[in-house]
Structure 1
Amino acid sequence: MKPIPPLSEMNMQIAEARIPELAARAGRAAHQRALAQAGKVVMAANGQLVEASADGSVRVIHALPPATKVRKGTVLTRKSKSD
């Protein structure tokens, strides 16, 4: 086998720019597979935990707490129980 040539900086940036699109497509595909195999999935939607069925019905399981607003670049850490 021939070694794979290294990517140029421009080609690397083009490939990296596609990551969000590929991740979204993979997430939708996983959702569809789960619906086909199990008949229902649990997900967060509109501030609620819901169970969506393959027949299109949606059942609210629980209301979720409000999202925590975090400024971009903030690093969150957990405090240890001994603190």
Structure 2
Amino acid sequence: MSEQDIQTLESQFPAISGRAFAAARQRVLASGQSVLQTEGSRLVREYPDGRKEVVKHIEPPILVKSGTILTIP
């Protein structure tokens, strides 16, 4: 596999993974279960009927520029 092939695949990853997560979320809700998700600085449980419950307040998301390498201590 060439470097160009790898770069092409990597560039497609965000869109493909976004669709996969959205589809999984819909399947879970359709099965009658709730999902946990973040909304800004909140952790929210969403129920199949559309009701939302704030579970916890969390640190706000960190905006990171594409290509940035983060080291987690």
TM-score clears 0.5: yes
Distance 1:17 1:49, change over 3 A: same
Aligned residues between the structures? 71
Q: CA deviation at 1:9?
A: 4.5
Q: Percent identity?
A: 30
Residue correspondence of structure 1 range 48-63 to structure 2 within 5 A: 48-63=42-57
Distance 2:57 2:33 in 1: 22
Match of 2:19 in 1: 25
Distance 2:8 2:55 in 1: 41
SS of structure 2 residue aligned to 1:17: helix
1:13 pairs, out of 7, 13, 23, with 7
By relative contact order (CA 8 Å, sep 6+), the higher-ranking structure is: 2
Mark the runs of 5 or more structure 2 residues left unpaired by the alignment: none
TM-score, length-scaled by structure 2: 0.71
Distance 1:65 1:16, change over 3 A: closer
TM-score, length-scaled by structure 1: 0.64
Mark the runs of 5 or more structure 1 residues left unpaired by the alignment: 1-6, 78-83
Q: CA RMSD in A?
A: 2.6
